[in-house]
Copies of this chain bind each other. A is one copy, B any other.
Amino acid sequence: MAEAPVVHLVGSGPGDPELLTVKAWKLLQRAEVVVHDRLVGQGILDLVPPSALRIDVGKKPGEHRFDQNSINALLAELAAPGRLVIRLKGGDPFVFGRGGEEALYLLRRGIRVEVVPGITAAFGCAAANRVPLTHRGVATGVRFVTGHCRDGWWLELDWKSLADPATTLVVYMGLAHIEQITTRLVEAGLDAATPTMAIENGTQDGERSLRAPLGGLAEATRDAAFRSPVLFIIGPVVEVLHNPAPLPLEIPDRHAAWIERVLHA
């Protein structure tokens, strides 16, 4: 009985090849076909054997070369028993990557799908810029939305619920609409002084970041001429680890005694 064809839906992480998972790293080195997005960096593509077929189906902003249906059909066409086909997507395949749509198309046509998660941009950027997305007493949760506007979708967002000072808000692909996003959040009750960070090219060569109060974020990114991809982190967590007041290194006796015991156990 022939093995069922399979497509590996693999997250490439935020850009730095060392932020690939070990699983993705190993798969890429054995790949026979790699269908990848525009945002997957060269350092990652260099892992793929020269003999493999590599297809760039990336969409440039404003230039929709390949629609999603064509990509789905291409993956189905490429899948074959025993062939290692990788669909390589920036970040994690299941967060704003339309990986679910590709998986659904393939599964409905009898093609197996194996998913390898990736470090999503929010975690890559938070680690690189020392922003704890949750922090006791500051943020009890974190929320990801996309700022990519389609079919007037923004008008439907529940701004009241997004304007929650205790939930860190991360906005993907929001550069084009950051003026509208920040205005709506302030109108919905979020303090215009709320700390925010913008990160351009997170974890990649040429990464830049800036901090600004929510009310000045749109202007700050415009002044700095930020270009896509940009991630926004909105919430007081942005300031927690920046310029913390120095404290002397004094270890209370009860901790010191415990540390002694642990180290000499």
In residues 89-111 of chain A, which contact B (Cβ within 8 Å)? 92-96, 98-101, 103-104, 107-110
**Docked complex Cα distance between A69 and B259 (Å):** 11
Is A3 among interface residues, defined by CB-CB distance under 8 A?
no
A248 at interface (Cβ–Cβ under 8 A)?
A: yes
The residues of B that contact A183 with a CB separation of less than 8 Å are: none
Binding site for B on A (CB under 8 A): 11, 13, 16-23, 25-26, 53, 55, 57, 66, 69-70, 73-74, 76-77, 92-96, 98-101, 103-104, 107-110, 113, 115-120, 123-124, 126-128, 130-136, 138, 140-146, 153, 157-158, 160-161, 164, 167, 237, 240-241, 244-249, 251-252, 255-256, 258-259, 262-263
B109 close to A117 (CB less than 8 A): no
Pick from B135, B160, B248: contact of A109, CB under 8 Å = B248
Q: Are A134 and B100 touching (Cβ within 8 A)?
A: yes
**Which residues of B lie under 8 Å from residue A13 when comparing CB positions?**
21
Please report whether the interface of chain A is mostly helix, strand, loop or mixed according to DSSP.
mixed
Contact for A94 among B20, B126, B262, CB less than 8 A: B126
Question: Which chain B residues border A258 with CB–CB below 8 Å?
Answer: 66, 70, 74
- Which B residues lie within 8 Å of A133 (CB)? 94-95
Residues of B within 8 A of A98 (CB): 136
In the complex, A17 Cα to B21 Cα: how many Å? Answer: 9
Residue of B nearest to A92 (CB): B123
Residues of B within 8 Å of A95, CB to CB, are: 123, 133-134, 142
7 closest A-B pairs by CB? A100-B132, A161-B161, A117-B127, A18-B23, A115-B127, A141-B145, A100-B135
Known: A57-B262, A76-B251, A94-B134. 16 other contacts (CB 8 A): A11-B123, A19-B21, A19-B22, A19-B117, A73-B255, A73-B259, A74-B259, A92-B123, A94-B123, A94-B126, A94-B133, A95-B134, A100-B237, A117-B124, A134-B144, A158-B161
Chain B: which residue is nearest A71 at the CB level? B255
Check B164–A249 contact: CB distance below 8 A: no
> Once the chains are docked, how many angstroms separate the CA of A83 from the CA of B22?
25
Q: Is the CB of A144 within 8 A of B142?
A: yes
Query: Once bound together, how far apart are the Cα atoms of A161 and B165, in whole Å?
Result: 13
Whether B94 pairs with A127 at a CB distance below 8 angstroms is: yes
Q: Are B99 and A132 in contact (CB under 8 A)?
A: yes
CA distance A99 to B107 in the complex (A): 39
